Structure 1
Amino acid sequence: MITGDFVEDYENMVPFQALIAMGHQVDAVCPNKKAGDTIPTSIHDFEGDQTYSEKRGHNFALNATFDNVNLQDYDALYLPGGRAPEYLRLDARVLDYVKHFFTTNKPVAAICHGAQILTAAGVIEGKNVSAYPACKPEVELAGATYADIAVDSAVTDGQLVTAPAWPAHSEMLKQFVALF
């Protein structure tokens, strides 16, 4: 899991804990941080406004060091949303990590604004991709078809699972784990 400061709290913590509960090892990493460092999270809620509201979330402790990642050791990649993807996509190493999972045909899941990392990595052309609706222009500019699905749904295209927001956790995780 590649995560970062002000990631969406639920999109970070719920899949992290759920995958561990299913018996998977999950290494949460962030560029320029090491195991034991924490990242602040944000809680995004849907309260009837034109966009989501944002509140300060929890501190999340990273359990692995980004610079020590050996990509060959990993079977899948998860990209949570929130505000973190808008700056994580500017890190060439993050984009290289993402490209590795696509070129080796390993499962990748992204939720909400996590699609911003996929678009920056140039890996979704020709794919059917869901994301938070505000990311639709980026998804389409990257050559993908935007999947306008219910907020509690997810879509799988090959080895890629995407979802619009945290209410889709159950469906996204079900589809993601089926690819393992």
Structure 2
Amino acid sequence: MAKLLLIAGDFVEDYEIMVPFQALQAMGHRVDAICPDKREGDSVKTAIHDFEGDQTYTEKPGHNFALNATFAEIDPADYDGLVVPGGRAPEYLRLDERVLDLVRHFFDTDKPVAAICHGAQLLAAAVSLDKRRVSAYPACAPEVHLAGGEFADIEVTDAITCGKLVTAPAWPAHPEWLKQFNALL
């Protein structure tokens, strides 16, 4: 089974970190969850994003998610794939050059990457998305385009694989997103 790295930060979307973390482990994969400047045993706060008929999602406090690895101690070369959950975390994680280097490693070495929702913000800041079809929360479409990608406007329950990259619009796509990512692993 694969050894996977999951990059997190405060106010990551609750379902988009909890579900893949647990589901990928249930499939037999090892998943190490990290956050810059935090250690194994520390936690990140999460937010729950709901689609309730407003012009955008609503946000509510989520759970505390315990990290099981230390950012400063990992070597991305030791991992077979990367998981990038959405929420608010990608918005500021993309400002950290160490995080961008980590993301670049997985693209440069052609390893599978799974990004969901606002995770596309981190991808667009780290790498060119040229010749890639990328799904994300619709508000991230401009960033996908600016990074050279083609924004895939798909159903909220669907996911898309383009090479070694699997993306989806939001947590309702978990079954399809995780199935496609697992197929790459």
- With normalisation by structure 2, the TM-score equals 0.96
| Alignment partner of 1:53 out of 55, 58, 63 | 58
CA distance in 2, matches of 1:67, 1:125: 30
CA distance in 2, matches of 1:177, 1:115: 19
Alignment gaps of 5+ in structure 2: 1-5
Q: 1:113-124 counterparts in 2 under 5 A?
A: 113-124=118-129
Preserved CA contact (<8 Å) 1:131 1:163: yes
What is the one-letter code of the residue matched to 2:61? R
Q: Which runs of 4+ in 1 moved over 2 A?
A: none
CA distance in 2, matches of 1:130, 1:72: 26
> How far is 1:78 from its partner?
0.3
Preserved CA contact (<8 Å) 2:128 2:149: no
CA distance in 1, matches of 2:30, 2:179: 17
> How far is 1:98 from its partner?
0.6
The reply on whether 1:22 has 2:27 as its aligned counterpart is yes
SS of 1:136's equivalent in the other structure is helix
What CA RMSD, in Å, does the superposition of the two structures yield over aligned residues?
0.5
CA distance in 1, matches of 2:118, 2:106: 18
Aligned residue number for residue 167 of structure 1: 172
The reply on whether 1:40 has 2:45 as its aligned counterpart is yes
CA distance in 1, matches of 2:35, 2:110: 23
SS of 1:106's equivalent in the other structure is coil
Alignment gaps of 5+ in structure 1: none
The reply on whether 1:146 has 2:151 as its aligned counterpart is yes
Preserved CA contact (<8 Å) 1:37 1:62: yes
SS of 1:42's equivalent in the other structure is strand
1:76-99 Cα deviation digits (max 9, x unpaired): 000000000000000001100111
> How far is 1:31 from its partner?
0.2
CA distance in 1, matches of 2:38, 2:47: 18
The reply on whether 1:94 has 2:122 as its aligned counterpart is no
Aligned residue number for residue 70 of structure 1: 75
What is the one-letter code of the residue matched to 1:7? V
Preserved CA contact (<8 Å) 1:99 1:123: no
Aligned residue number for residue 125 of structure 1: 130
Q: Among all aligned residue pairs of Structure 1 and Structure 2, give the percentage whose two residues are the same amino acid.
A: 71
1:56-113 Cα deviation digits (max 9, x unpaired): 0000000000001111110000000000000000000110011100111000000000
- With normalisation by structure 1, the TM-score equals 0.99
Aligned residue number for residue 13 of structure 1: 18
Aligned residue number for residue 82 of structure 1: 87
> How far is 1:157 from its partner?
0.3
Q: Provide the aligned length of Structure 1 versus Structure 2.
A: 180
What is the one-letter code of the residue matched to 1:64? A
